[in-house]
Amino acid sequence: MNLTNADRAAIQSIIEQQIQAFRQNDADRAFRLASPTIRQQFETSQTFIEMVQASYDPLYRSRSVLFEDVGVVEGQLAQQMIVMGANGSLYRAYYLMQRQASADWRINGCYLTRIKELKP
């Protein structure tokens, strides 16, 4: 997939805005940054944020994030990231992104897996 630097910056900005909304308990703003498919699936910002709290707590209360490469997961553009959860554990996140007819980007899902700690 050919992405411009502007696309990459826009994708990272949308993700950063959603993570900031999570940190500020702003369910409405976080929900607006999701794709129409996700908004239709959860119907309300409250239902959406409850799902995020229950299933994606490391993102909901992240201490820090590090953006990595953009790739493709299940045929969708995916921004790869490393996330440090509130307890200091590390996770790999794949934010699925969807370009809208308006050319804006929206978040169309996320896969999150814990990175196992290395033991000496």
pLDDT per position as a tens digit, 69-80: 998 888 889 999
The pairing of strands 105-114 and 76-84 is: unpaired
Report whether pLDDT(117) > 80.
no
pLDDT at 73: 84
The domain ranges of the chain are: 5-114
Measured between alpha carbons, how far is 56 from 85 in angstroms, rounded to an integer?
A: 10
Report whether pLDDT(46) > 90.
yes
Report whether pLDDT(118) > 70.
no
Contact 72, 111 (CB under 8 A): no
For 5-114, CATH number? 3.10.450.50
Average pLDDT in the chain: 91
Instruction: With 0.85 as the threshold, say if the pTM is over it.
Output: yes
